[in-house]
Chain A
Amino acid sequence: MSVLTDERRERTDGRPLLEISHLQTSFYTDKEVIRAVDDVSFDIHPGETVGIVGESGSGKSVTARSIMGLIESPGRIDGGAVKFRDLDTVRRFAKKYDKRTVDVTDEALAEAKGNDAETDADAFRSLVSKKDFVFVEERNGDEITAGYVDTTRAPDGAMRNVRGGGIAMVFQDPLTSLNPVYTVGNQIKESLRIHRGLSGQAATEKAIDLLEAVGIPDAARRVREYPHQFSGGMRQRAVIAMALACDPELLICDEPTTALDVTIQAQILELLDDIQEERDLGIMFITHDMGVIAEIADRVNVMYAGEIVETAGAVDLFENPRHPYTRGLLQSIPGTQGPDERLRTIEGDVPTPNEKPTYCRFAPRCPEAFDACDRVHPVPVAVNEDAADHAAACLLYPEDRSREDAVTLHDEQGKGETDAKTSGTTTGGATSDGTAADGGDTQ
């Protein structure tokens, strides 16, 4: 196992497996534009489980679907990048889509800089044309040694290859996520055929292996059965087997245990844990259940109204929640109160994020809100100088600064970021809005 781990680590070279930077997904309805995912950034490393928690409507599932390229009209990804750094995928795509592959190696950037570009970001923009989606960052001779595929820019054909092959997804409701008119085996084999070209007896055997791997007894018989002959927990196991069929690097679980009862839930979590250890999968785990997150996640991102409001290691987050929203969530878990105390709740509902934030979206429900919360939009900052790994988007932080200083910091950083975005110079550079492409398009 450790050999495999090292190999995988080497393949991403210490870089995250998935890097989401400034992702922005909106839904354009007749009435309003809903910014379901509003400037979200986080990383997932190989073998790491990243939890996303938040209430319903906070944008968790839309984030997952944006990564998978499953956003459909009237939804649209407006900006940001989702960088998938699986080297195999990058190499394969660089070969297949060589016209849409671009070198953004240090040398290439330096050369562009030498020409006319002033900053790194300008240089990046001058290299990348509108259609590019495979980015090569390092080459060793002819071999690509580092790079990424931006799934927000990838064409549908390439995305189909990534879906299931590189990134797999397990959905919330196992009772409805299998097609009722085909056998479980048929649906697992479909994956195997698409991504590995397996068919016939070989595919059936592989499907049986997969079902056994997820703990379904008598798999050889079960593979020929229909979903309605499986129990809820079994179906979720089958869905997981289907997701694992093509050995993905990243597994996105969208509330995979919400529809299951507690004992089955524990079994599924254990199964995911085992699978992760075995295959060194990166897992993105979406849930609104703090208990589940505590059990499975290495790192937790708390989402509220389309934004990540707090991010920290799981232990740190549960011991020292900093954002008032996270505290509210933790206090509303039954069993954390005294015997005569009523269960605490967060008053109100998640607002619909339908405009550019110039204030804190949680302020109306926040017990600690003060004047500035209504006019300054908080940006994620480290909660104090010692905790580089624990950030909160709240005007109360950094806690080692005075409140005025903190507010000024948020104000400036927020403005700086807006400026940077409007002029198209995000650090990642790979914004998918038209401006980024101008440099590369001129002949």
Chain B
Amino acid sequence: MSRWQYFLRRLLLSIPVVIFGTTITFMIIRLGPLDPAAAILGPGQASGPRAEELRRQLGLTQPLWEQYFDFMLDMVTFNLGNSWVISSGTPAYELILIYAPRTIWLGFWSVLIALFVGIPLGFYAGLNPNTFSDYTASFGGIVWRAMPNFWLAIILVSVLSQSEQLIGWDWKTWLITTPVVTPPRLGFMTEPLALITNPSESWPQLLGAIKQIAPAAIVLGSSSMGNEMRIGRTAVLETINSNYVETAKAKGVSNRTLVWKHVFRNALIPLVPIITGEAFLLIGGSVLVETVFAINGIGYLFFQAAIQGDLPLVGSLMFIFILILVGTNILQDFLYTVIDPRVGYDES
């Protein structure tokens, strides 16, 4: 089986995974202790004719299998329904469009920071093992990795809010005036062309959005950054001591080719699942950081929907999370397929 056939098979296999995940979601929200009628009507009114009427209106009295098929059909056709509680009557789709970009913006920068700081540092440490710079990088990596998200976030918010008094340098007015907390303004995302047609207005906006998300992204990316550094270092060390690197040296390959051709690509293989694994973490881990920085993102929305029994919204968000997870898995398989020719190799 060639590696591309293997990839295609993985792609097809993801379909049952999505269906299975969505089914489980349905079971949890419908068979769990959530009572949307009580949530809508308020505490103490979970029974009585009004509640019954409401349940009938919401379709909760229909047979379960019928509800299941409706739910599944709605999900796969992206008919996400309206919110019941959080913002009654607003389509879930619209709510997600408001909240999701903030999380994506945050996730994008935290993955980027982890990738472009963690991996190069780790590779550098691995290429210069047991030197002062290696120890510095490794020690920094451990410390960075060990700081809990919520703690680092609070410290950062506190320091940045009063940076003028503390270190005589005002973060809020540096480069462009932005608040420390509250969601970044992402208006430019809807009109990316404005960056070219109207640069004087949209570029400062972009800069402001980046500056505002930076502390949160650093906090969220910090643990991944430490992880990637440590694993990158180990991977490089392992590769550089492997026999094929010595063979290449014995062939007269220059040091630069040795590192970029023979070491780099092999060292990336163990890093792929780490990187994609961190993308998962960004969905779950972002709730804490979003709360501290008051970035009302998708994690915040999900949390609110779940505790308030907003079934359509919880279902839609879960479905989207499932799609994201399966998507990252596919991306991981794709990266594997590109980097490692042994993928999909069948001994038979």
- Which residues does A use to contact B, with CB under 8 Å? 68, 70, 160-165, 168-169, 171-173, 176-183, 187, 190-191, 194-195, 226, 228-229, 239, 242-243
Do residues A161 and B252 form an inter-chain contact, with CB atoms below 8 A? yes
Do residues A179 and B250 form an inter-chain contact, with CB atoms below 8 A? no
For residue A167, which residue of chain B has the nearest CB?
B250
Partner among B243, B252, B261, B262 whose Cβ is within 8 Å of the Cβ of A162: B252
A172 CA to B242 CA, complexed, in Å: 12
Nearest first, the 8 closest Cβ-Cβ pairs linking A and B are A164-B252, A163-B252, A176-B243, A164-B251, A169-B250, A179-B244, A160-B252, A177-B247
Q: What 20 new A-B contacts, CB under 8 Å, besides A70-B250, A179-B245, A183-B341? A: A161-B252, A163-B251, A164-B250, A164-B251, A168-B251, A171-B246, A171-B250, A176-B243, A178-B247, A179-B247, A180-B340, A181-B266, A181-B341, A187-B248, A190-B251, A190-B257, A191-B252, A194-B253, A228-B342, A242-B251
Do residues B262 and A226 form an inter-chain contact, with CB atoms below 8 A? no
A181 CA to B335 CA, complexed, in Å: 13
A178 CA to B244 CA, complexed, in Å: 5
Do residues B248 and A179 form an inter-chain contact, with CB atoms below 8 A? yes
With A177-B244, A179-B266, A180-B266 as known contacts, state yes or no: A228 contacts B345, CB within 8 Å. Answer: yes
The reply to whether the CB of B265 lies closer than 8 angstroms to some CB of chain A is: yes
Chain B hits for A226, CB < 8 A: 341-342
A68 CA to B251 CA, complexed, in Å: 10
The reply to whether the CB of B194 lies closer than 8 angstroms to some CB of chain A is: no
Interface residues of B in 214-273 (CB under 8 A from A): 242-254, 257, 261-262, 265-266, 269
The reply to whether the CB of B324 lies closer than 8 angstroms to some CB of chain A is: no
The reply to whether the CB of B339 lies closer than 8 angstroms to some CB of chain A is: yes
- How far apart are B101's CB and chain A's nearest CB, in angstroms? 37
Chain A hits for B249, CB < 8 A: 70, 163
Chain A hits for B266, CB < 8 A: 179-181
- Which residues does B use to contact A, with CB under 8 Å? 242-254, 257, 261-262, 265-266, 269, 339-342, 345
- How far apart are A250's CB and chain B's nearest CB, in angstroms? 12
- How far apart are B326's CB and chain A's nearest CB, in angstroms? 27
Chain B hits for A229, CB < 8 A: 345
A168 CA to B250 CA, complexed, in Å: 7
Chain A hits for B250, CB < 8 A: 68, 70, 163-164, 168-169, 171
- How far apart are B104's CB and chain A's nearest CB, in angstroms? 32
Chain A hits for B248, CB < 8 A: 179, 187, 190
Most buried by A among B242, B243, B261, B342: B243
For residue B241, which residue of chain A has the nearest CB?
A72
- How far apart are B133's CB and chain A's nearest CB, in angstroms? 16
10 example contacts (A-B, Cβ-Cβ < 8 A) are as follows A160-B253, A160-B254, A162-B252, A163-B250, A163-B251, A163-B252, A177-B247, A179-B248, A181-B265, A181-B266
Chain A hits for B244, CB < 8 A: 176-180
Chain B hits for A191, CB < 8 A: 251-252
For residue A188, which residue of chain B has the nearest CB?
B251
- How far apart are A269's CB and chain B's nearest CB, in angstroms? 20
Chain B hits for A165, CB < 8 A: 252
A229 CA to B269 CA, complexed, in Å: 19
Chain A hits for B265, CB < 8 A: 181
Chain B hits for A164, CB < 8 A: 250-252
Do residues B251 and A194 form an inter-chain contact, with CB atoms below 8 A? yes
A226 CA to B266 CA, complexed, in Å: 14
A242 CA to B341 CA, complexed, in Å: 20
Chain B hits for A160, CB < 8 A: 252-254
Do residues A179 and B246 form an inter-chain contact, with CB atoms below 8 A? no
Partner among B243, B254, B269, B341 whose Cβ is within 8 Å of the Cβ of A173: B243
For residue B269, which residue of chain A has the nearest CB?
A181
A163 CA to B255 CA, complexed, in Å: 13
Chain A hits for B252, CB < 8 A: 160-165, 191, 194-195
For residue B257, which residue of chain A has the nearest CB?
A190
- How far apart are B240's CB and chain A's nearest CB, in angstroms? 10
For residue B239, which residue of chain A has the nearest CB?
A179
For residue A239, which residue of chain B has the nearest CB?
B247
A194 CA to B249 CA, complexed, in Å: 12
Do residues B253 and A177 form an inter-chain contact, with CB atoms below 8 A? no
A168 CA to B265 CA, complexed, in Å: 25
- How far apart are B314's CB and chain A's nearest CB, in angstroms? 44
Chain A hits for B251, CB < 8 A: 163-164, 168, 190-191, 194, 242-243
Chain B hits for A176, CB < 8 A: 242-244
- How far apart are B190's CB and chain A's nearest CB, in angstroms? 42
- How far apart are A32's CB and chain B's nearest CB, in angstroms? 18
For residue A242, which residue of chain B has the nearest CB?
B251
For residue B263, which residue of chain A has the nearest CB?
A179
- How far apart are B265's CB and chain A's nearest CB, in angstroms? 5
Chain B hits for A181, CB < 8 A: 265-266, 269, 339-341
A164 CA to B251 CA, complexed, in Å: 4
A195 CA to B340 CA, complexed, in Å: 28
- How far apart are A184's CB and chain B's nearest CB, in angstroms? 11
Chain A hits for B243, CB < 8 A: 171-173, 176-177
Chain B hits for A190, CB < 8 A: 248, 251, 253, 257, 261
A194 CA to B246 CA, complexed, in Å: 16
For residue B345, which residue of chain A has the nearest CB?
A228
Do residues A171 and B341 form an inter-chain contact, with CB atoms below 8 A? no
- How far apart are A294's CB and chain B's nearest CB, in angstroms? 27
- How far apart are B258's CB and chain A's nearest CB, in angstroms? 10
Chain A hits for B342, CB < 8 A: 180, 226, 228
- How far apart are B215's CB and chain A's nearest CB, in angstroms? 38
A179 CA to B254 CA, complexed, in Å: 16
Most buried by A among B265, B341, B345: B341
- How far apart are A82's CB and chain B's nearest CB, in angstroms? 15
A309 CA to B252 CA, complexed, in Å: 32
A340 CA to B262 CA, complexed, in Å: 53
- How far apart are B237's CB and chain A's nearest CB, in angstroms? 13
